[in-house]
Chain A
Amino acid sequence: MRIEVKDLAFTYSPGTPFAKRALDGIDLSIEEGDFVGILGHTGSGKSTFILHLNGLIKLQSGSIDVFDIKLVPDKKNKQDLRKLRGTVGMVFQYPEYQLFEDTVEKDVAFGPKNLGLSQEKVDRRVERAIRLVGLDFEDIRGRAPFELSGGQKRRVAIAGIIAMQPRVLVLDEPTAGLDPYGKEQILELITRLKKECSPTVIVISHDVDEITRFASRIVVFNDGKVAFDLPMNELFRRSEELAAMGLEIPRAVRIADKLRARGIDLGDVVNADDLVRAIVRKFDKNNMDETDIAKLSAAQFDFGSDEAFGGAGGEA
């Protein structure tokens, strides 16, 4: 079972002076269980692409198969669309802006109710979803979404999607506008959701350091096309191409590159975890074991992620 996208093209406002080609021949196949990070700067077509995965944009040309649901242009099939929306869960940018009910419980129930589930099933899913996103169900169920903090609102919004139990979870800039601590929590949540709820996860981000932390595969969009698509641990070989597209190079890669220039070769490094590990392996005289290294690696996030490596990265 997989998601198969073939020759997908899309133009906004075709036939007017505002016409803008957003996607231009996208071919992509995503296996069930993949953890895909989509990178690309503003206007690269990444958001337009994920809207297609949920049938929120009418297909203009090409085809999309999401597991056993087939989408082709000029096909109107409500049954398929409903099934698709139950299969692919979309968490939009700033999802907290879509909350509208007077209690958290009702808002989370909106999605599963639309799927046509029985009240009993809906209740069970709502409770499970709220617990999954790390909120206290008993405490929060009756509260108004608008009185919660920013981070809590976002969790509630994500719970609203999780409650639909999608097999594929798509998140668009899930950490936008959060402080470093809030970001860290959302990233942890995504990893947990992949394990316990939706086996296939697609995350859009423009923060390459964030994506390199968890995704196992990276797809880079540039100018409506897939610029490259590779396993995470090969990303470091493409740092020059990334820079040419105006994207940032992962900080760990930049540090490793600089060290290599000074004659210290750390091998393949993509994210901060790898970097810590590689440095420890290279210079450790006490023969630290895996758990110690993991502890050390986790410690780096206590600095507040930006200051920790900001100085060292500099110009790449």
Chain B
Amino acid sequence: MRDVSFGQYYPTGSVIHRLDPRAKIIFMLIYMVIIFFVASYCGYALVALFLFTVTAVAKIPIKTLFKSVKAILVLMIFTAVINIFFYHEGKVLVDWWIIEITLGGIDFAIKMALRISLLVMGTSLLSFTTTPVELTDAIESLLHPLTYIKVPVHDIALIMSIALRFIPGLMDETDKIMMAQKARGAEIDTGGLVKKIKAMLPVLIPLFVSAIRRADELADALDARCYNASKHRTKMKVLKFGVKDAVATLIVLVFATLILLDKYLLGGLDGYIVEFVKGLAG
């Protein structure tokens, strides 16, 4: 249960870890959008280079980053296979019965797989370098403008941070209850689907009971301290956008510009390289 990749903060204290979390969230969004503008394999190479450089600067082992892809491996293979079989464009390589595999299909499938894995690794990088608390603070700060149209941003942020705060506790609790039931001879990880679901009951019922009890206690504790989400509340840690965040912004913008240049100005660098190699050969 501990292996569930969530809030998988990986503390190294690097400069990436110390960036303003708001900036990191925005970088993340830019990165996610820009991946869909990548037009060539050269572009993907650039994205990968960017991602791995950031990972190296953050002092996170590349293995840890790859592990995050493992979780969606099935999804990736599934999309790749679907694309190979249903995308018909370009030179036909295999044509047998109802199956038609084209060069375009393979090209598209590879690009799709690259896109998904780069997306997942990028988002994981954010969670490796930013604590859940920082993330909620940043989201609250970024959503602040919405308070003008009466969106209870602070309440939403509080709900989020409480939920996040509860997760490690509940994981621990799950672990403990599982062990206790295993000690009573419960076989939790074996058998078919129905048997597995049935076997989860002795874990889930105590877990819900304890979650509700904890929530109740927390609500009492908040009430006892007269907590209310007024706008006059101050923060212990005030987020600051500093010089290193400005530098990081610059780097991200250069990266994004390069990708856009590749797509709109050059129309994909791959074609030029192919031409160049052909030129050399011929």
Contacts and interface: CB of A to CB of B under 8 A. Distances in A.
Contacts, number: 60
Nearest to B178: A56
Interface residues of A, number: 24
Nearest to A51: B179
A28 B116 CA distance: 52
Interface stretch (B38-46, B133-141, B160-168, B184-192): B184-192
29 contacts: A17-B11, A51-B179, A54-B183, A56-B179, A56-B182, A82-B185, A85-B183, A85-B184, A89-B183, A90-B179, A90-B180, A90-B183, A92-B176, A92-B179, A97-B180, A97-B210, A98-B177, A98-B180, A98-B181, A98-B184, A98-B206, A99-B206, A100-B202, A110-B184, A111-B184, A114-B184, A114-B187, A160-B184, A161-B184
A56 B178 CA distance: 10
Contacts of B85: none
Q: Could you tell me the dominant secondary structure of chain A's interface residues?
A: helix
B3 to A, nearest CB: 10
Interface of A: 17, 51, 54, 56, 82, 85-86, 89-90, 92, 95, 97-100, 110-111, 113-115, 146, 160-161, 164
Contacts of A164: 184-185
A161 B183 CA distance: 9
A95 B177 CA distance: 9
Given A98-B206, A110-B202, A114-B187, A17 B12 contact: yes
B185 A85 contact: yes
A114 B180 contact: no
Contacts of B206: 97-100
Contact of A56 (B183, B201, B205): B183
Interface residues of B, number: 21
B185 A111 contact: yes
Nearest to A13: B2
B10 interface: yes
Interface of B: 10-12, 173, 176-177, 179-187, 201-202, 205-206, 209-210
Contacts of A85: 182-185
Contacts of B183: 54, 56, 85, 89-90, 92, 161
A48 B155 CA distance: 40
Contacts of A161: 183-184
B205 A100 contact: yes
Given A85-B183, A98-B177, 15 more contacts: A17-B11, A51-B179, A82-B185, A85-B182, A85-B185, A97-B177, A97-B206, A98-B180, A98-B181, A98-B184, A98-B202, A110-B186, A114-B185, A146-B209, A161-B183
Contacts of A90: 179-180, 183
A114 B176 CA distance: 19
A99 B181 CA distance: 9
B185 A86 contact: yes
B241 to A, nearest CB: 28
Contacts of B210: 97
Contacts of B179: 51, 56, 90, 92
